[in-house]
Amino acid sequence: MQHVDLSHTDPDLPEHLVLILHGSRGDLSKRMVLASLYLLHRRGLLPRTWQIIGTGQVDDGDDAFRAEVRDAFEEHTDQPLDAFDEFAQHLSYAYQVEKDSPWSRADDVAAAVADGALVVHYLAIPPTAFAPATEALAAQGLLDGARVVYEKPFGTSPETFAELDDLVHEHLDESQVFRIDHFLAKEGTQNLHVLRFANELFKSVWNREHVLEVQVDVPETLDVAQRASFYDATGAALDMLVTHLFQVASEVALETPDTLEVDELVAAREEVFRHFRELDPEDDVVLGQFDGYTAIDGVADDSQTDTYVAARLWIDTDRWRGVPFVLRTGKRLARGAQRVTLIIRSPESGPLGGVGIDSVSVSIAGDGRIEISTTVKRPGPELVLAQGTAVLDFDDVAVGEALPPYASAVHDVLVGDRRAFTTSATLHEAWRAFAPLLGERRPTPVPYAPGSMGPAEADRLVSDAGWCVTAPDDAAGTGENS
């Protein structure tokens, strides 16, 4: 049996916690949020005393909720359930908070706050419910001193973002707001900082003098049939480009902060976003839709929703001016990956010419991996050049056990670390840069075959190096955004 660490040794954790999980009966709550809390429980990474109050639109009591959570864990998680009975003792359930009706657990939460507990509201609810939920929590007096976690997307346009942002700031200080983008919590994404700032080899070439192009590539093999109604109202660009891919691009493009403390890192990220050029839909964006998409139940026959997007983003800082950041994602592609690649310029002079594309590639899937491709001498008596690749898997690094992105993000909320969360300022700039894709200039999606790597039209967005993530011969791969 795997050891369950209940030592609670993290000095940054609060002593007492009340986490109120709004929308606790939904798929996101059970598969991601509650599973993450269970993992933190098993690792000894929760406070000394804690309770989780789930809320929802039915009111069938604690036992039904606990049984439903266990069923979900058995179906969706590979974690041992040896500690579930103890975990379940900390779970309870209540009807959802409403603006005009007293909430049944308000007195219990007030008593916990009086005893020094940290209150966290986790809004695992549809984005359209963020505003009414925030107003309801404010009306019930449940926001004073609390932290509030908002899932993505935080708005669906510049206008809806601004409306929601204004409402949130009526009731909360920015320091209380945690907007999750779990790509920022990935081990691989965070290793971008270490790779660059702790290694002079990479730090010295991390600029437009040495980098020809940056690719942020997240192709997926997954279908959308299981959530067709949601997806048809959203699409790839809204679901992934203005959120995950923009955020990862900003991590690559950061100016060097003096430290990686929260305030300095957040300020550096916000400054990069201010230099995002607005997307040019005609020249720099290709949208696609896989063949057969409109035949899926829940999708309109004439749907123009994009299931694929490739975009060339320009970041007009002195470090990156003129270097294209090419971002790509799509459904039902031949291969799944989550990779950031810096394509290195070939030497302009010297006795030897290269034979391939030199690059530094960081996989941000799972525990992460670094690949360095460069020109080397082929073994043998003659000077013959070849392309070689060196690989370092982060899970090979001695001593360390990574947390999955959601668990890492939840833990950061508990300790108050906002480094891996988006801010009002970054999202304002993200929506500004993305806005041209929401108007009349939006390209019509072009068809592509399922099992391909998307429309051929997107090939014009990358350099002669081509896409670094290509389909394997057997078209295998996964596309989980984990």
**Per annotation, catalytic residue among 22, 121, 244, 411:** 244
* pLDDT score at 473: 55
Residue numbers belonging to the annotated binding site for substrate: 182, 186, 220, 239, 331
Q: Is 3 a known active-site residue? A: no
Q: Is 30 left (phi over 0), alpha (psi -120 to 50) or beta?
A: alpha
Is residue 360 within 8 Å of 191, Cβ to Cβ?
no
Residues of the chain with CATH 3.30.360.10: 184-398+425-461
Class at the top of the CATH hierarchy for domain 16-151: alpha beta
**Tens place of pLDDT for every residue, the chain, 482 residues?**
233 444 445 678 999 999 999 999 998 999 999 999 999 999 999 999 999 999 999 988 999 999 999 999 999 888 999 999 999 999 999 999 999 999 999 999 999 999 999 999 999 998 889 999 999 999 999 999 999 999 988 999 999 999 999 999 999 999 999 999 988 888 888 888 888 888 888 888 999 999 999 999 999 999 998 788 888 988 999 999 999 999 999 999 999 888 878 889 899 999 999 999 999 999 999 999 999 999 999 899 999 999 999 999 999 999 999 999 999 999 999 999 999 999 998 876 556 666 667 899 999 887 778 888 887 878 888 887 877 888 888 666 655 677 899 999 999 999 999 988 999 999 999 999 999 999 899 999 999 999 999 999 999 999 988 999 998 754 333 444 44
Question: What is 184-398+425-461's CATH topology?
Answer: Dihydrodipicolinate Reductase; domain 2 (3.30.360)
Residue numbers belonging to the annotated binding site: 152, 182, 186, 220, 239, 331
Residue numbers belonging to the annotated binding site for NADP(+): 152
Residues of the chain with CATH 3.40.50.720: 16-151
Positive or negative, the CA dihedral 428, 432, 433, 436 is positive
| pTM for this model (two decimals) | 0.89
Q: Tokens 């997107």 map to which residue?
A: 458
